[in-house]
């Protein structure tokens, strides 16, 4: 999970879900306990009413006249409310007209003066133990039983549960929406910083300019210092290398002039020209290598196709006698994050090498997958010899008869090394050589 907003929203959602679940469970349990207590209190009130209406019958046992029943449901069969009185041996002494033939509960005698409330299946039951004096003032023990169907209680509980979780779910969605707004507001500085960095990459601005919260100020200051330091360092490198190139140019030109004018011996003049040309080529190569920019911090992307078109157009004029056909298979929208000078050097060396060895066709292709660039140069020439990897070493050439210093592929290899890439020399589909380059940009 790479997004800060997604992480915070995920964490907040987990906490909110746990809170809502615990809160809902607590409220549901509290309501259930309260409803059960209310049910028990109601049945106890009914028990007191029944005991208040009780009187001894002809046998001296306790009974309740039908006309004095406190709840009309006790007089209606299958009403869901039943009552009974049993003696200390479990025998039925009195039962309400609503009492079913098969009692839904098994009854054990209750201790005198104690209550017992319980829920069993579809019924609530309340038992109370009592002692009653008969007409002879002899104490008799009885157990009063009240049974009520709990269907209405369960329906009430279901209604409450639906209402509770509906409101809690709505509250959770509302809190999540508020959390999204809060996250969006709190991450605004990061979005603004991202936009500024993009503007720096595309050369729309030079530094981070906006004011940020104190937590981000050290980061923005460090980024500005790094950007400025890199630019100053790059400028110093290029200026120093330009001075060095200018300083070497004059002595080498003087040596070439002296060789051409003062040395009369043709053989000696040829021997002197070759090392001087080699010194010149090696100096140019080392200067180009040292000037390689590599990856720059917050550098803007560079389009590859215009560079390839410009270089191939120039090479068509250089190798006009071969009438080379260049095929460029690069999307105009393909852009890579690399120094433009480095790309010019890379593509220029590869196309020049292919044009030098091809018969009439050179093809350049490139594609970008995420941050991985694949660049392919094909030609229809003789191809690479065995142990082609040796050509990547400076000064090694495939054919000593062909003009050059043997540093083109070596320069490409060194340049690719700056970008942590790799180069492979293969046999291509055009019948000649293929140079396959992969690097991150």
Contact between 127 and 43 under an 8 Å Cβ cutoff? The reply is: no
130 inside domain = yes
Query: What does the alpha-carbon distance between residue 347 and residue 338 come to, in Å, rounded to a whole number?
Result: 13
Predicted pLDDT of residue 99: 87
Last residue of a domain, one of 133, 156, 179: 156
Predicted pLDDT of residue 401: 40
Residues 6+ apart with CB under 8 A from 49: 70, 71
Convert the pLDDT of each residue in 70-116 to its tens digit: 999 998 888 889 999 888 887 888 888 988 877 655 566 788 889 99
104 inside domain = yes
Where residue 130 sits, what CATH number does that domain have?
Answer: 3.30.450
Query: What does the alpha-carbon distance between residue 430 and residue 378 come to, in Å, rounded to a whole number?
Result: 7
Distances from the Cα of 35 to the Cα of 120, 169, 383, angstroms: 16, 23, 91
Contact between 376 and 440 under an 8 Å Cβ cutoff? The reply is: no
pTM of the model: 0.51
Predicted pLDDT of residue 266: 66
DSSP-assigned letters across all residues of 131-163: EEE-TTS-EEEEEEEEEEE-HHHHHHHHHHHHH
SS3 category, 244? helix
Q: What are phi and psi of 158, to 5 degrees?
A: -65, -40
Classify residue 60 as left (phi > 0), alpha (psi -120 to 50) or beta: left
Where residue 363 sits, what CATH number does that domain have?
Answer: 3.30.565.10
269 inside domain = no
409 inside domain = yes
Q: What are phi and psi of 92, to 5 degrees?
A: -75, 125
Predicted pLDDT of residue 236: 74
192 inside domain = no
- Beta-strand ranges (E) seen in 237-318 are 302-303
SS3 category, 359? coil
With tokens 């070439």, the residue in question is 256
Last residue of a domain, one of 135, 156, 177: 156
- As given in the structure block, the two tokens for residue 172 are 């959770």
Which of these, 407, 342, 331, lies nearest to 369 by C-alpha position?
A: 331
311 inside domain = yes
Last residue of a domain, one of 124, 156, 188: 156
Q: What is the pLDDT along the chain (441 residues), one digit of tens a residue?
A: 677 888 888 888 899 899 999 999 999 999 999 999 999 999 999 999 998 888 877 777 788 888 889 999 998 888 889 999 888 887 888 888 988 877 655 566 788 889 999 988 888 999 999 988 776 667 888 899 999 999 999 999 999 999 999 999 999 999 989 988 988 898 888 889 889 888 887 778 888 888 888 888 888 888 888 888 777 777 777 667 666 766 776 676 767 666 666 666 666 666 666 676 667 666 665 566 555 555 555 566 788 999 999 999 999 988 889 899 999 999 998 888 787 878 888 898 899 989 998 999 999 999 988 778 899 999 999 988 877 677 776 544 444 444 443 446 777 887 788 788 888 888 989 989 999 999 876
223 inside domain = no
Range of the domain at 312: 299-440
The total of structural domains in the chain comes to 2
SS3 category, 72? helix
267 inside domain = no
Q: What angle do CA 100, 35, 25 make, to 5 degrees?
A: 125
Convert the pLDDT of each residue in 301-358 to its tens digit: 788 999 999 999 999 988 889 899 999 999 998 888 787 878 888 898 899 989 998 9
Q: What angle do CA 68, 71, 76 make, to 5 degrees?
A: 95
Predicted pLDDT of residue 299: 62
């Amino acid at each position: 999970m790479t997004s800060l907003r997604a992480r915070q929203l995920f964490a907040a959602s987990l906490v909110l879900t746990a809170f809502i679940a615990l809160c809902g469970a607590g409220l549901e349990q509290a309501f259930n306990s309260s409803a059960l207590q209310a049910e028990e209190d109601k049945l106890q009130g009914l028990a007191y009413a029944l005991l208040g209406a009780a009187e001894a019958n002809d046998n001296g046992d306790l009974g309740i006249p039908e006309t004095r029943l406190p709840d009309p449901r006790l007089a209606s069969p299958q009403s869901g409310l039943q009552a009974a009185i049993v003696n200390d041996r479990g025998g039925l002494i009195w039962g309400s007209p609503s009492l079913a033939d098969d009692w839904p509960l098994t009854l054990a005698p209750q201790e005198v003066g104690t209550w017992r409330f319980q829920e069993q299946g579809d019924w609530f039951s309340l038992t109370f133990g009592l002692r009653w004096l008969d007409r002879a003032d002899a104490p008799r023990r009885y157990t009063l039983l009240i049974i009520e169907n709990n269907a209405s209680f369960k329906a009430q509980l279901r209604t409450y549960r639906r209402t509770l979780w509906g409101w809690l779910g709505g509250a959770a969605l509302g809190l999540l929406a508020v959390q999204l707004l809060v996250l969006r507001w709190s991450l605004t500085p990061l979005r603004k910083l991202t936009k500024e960095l993009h503007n720096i990459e595309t050369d729309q601005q030079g530094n981070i300019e906006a004011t940020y919260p104190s937590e981000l100020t050290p980061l923005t200051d460090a980024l500005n210092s790094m950007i400025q330091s890199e630019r100053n360092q790059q400028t110093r490198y290029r200026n120093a290398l330009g001075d060095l190139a200018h300083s070497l140019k004059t002595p080498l030109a003087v040596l070439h002039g002296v060789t051409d004018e003062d040395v009369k011996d043709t053989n000696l003049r040829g021997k002197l020209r070759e090392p001087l040309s080699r010194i010149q080529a090696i100096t140019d190569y080392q200067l180009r290598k040292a000037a390689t920019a590599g990856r720059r911090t917050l550098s803007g992307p560079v389009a590859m196709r215009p560079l390839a078109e410009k270089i191939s157009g120039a090479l068509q004029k250089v190798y006009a006698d071969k009438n080379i056909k260049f095929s460029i298979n690069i999307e105009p929208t393909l852009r890579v994050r690399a120094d433009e000078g480095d790309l010019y050097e890379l593509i220029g060396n590869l196309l020049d090498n292919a044009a030098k060895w091809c018969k009439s066709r050179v093809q350049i292709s490139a594609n970008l997958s995420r941050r991985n660039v694949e660049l392919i140069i094909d030609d229809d020439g003789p191809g690479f010899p065995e142990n082609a990897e040796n050509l990547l070493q400076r000064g090694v050439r495939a054919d000593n008869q062909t003009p050059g210093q043997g540093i083109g592929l070596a320069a490409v290899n060194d340049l690719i090394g700056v970008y942590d890439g790799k180069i492979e020399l293969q046999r291509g589909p055009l019948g000649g050589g293929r140079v396959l380059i992969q690097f991150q940009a």
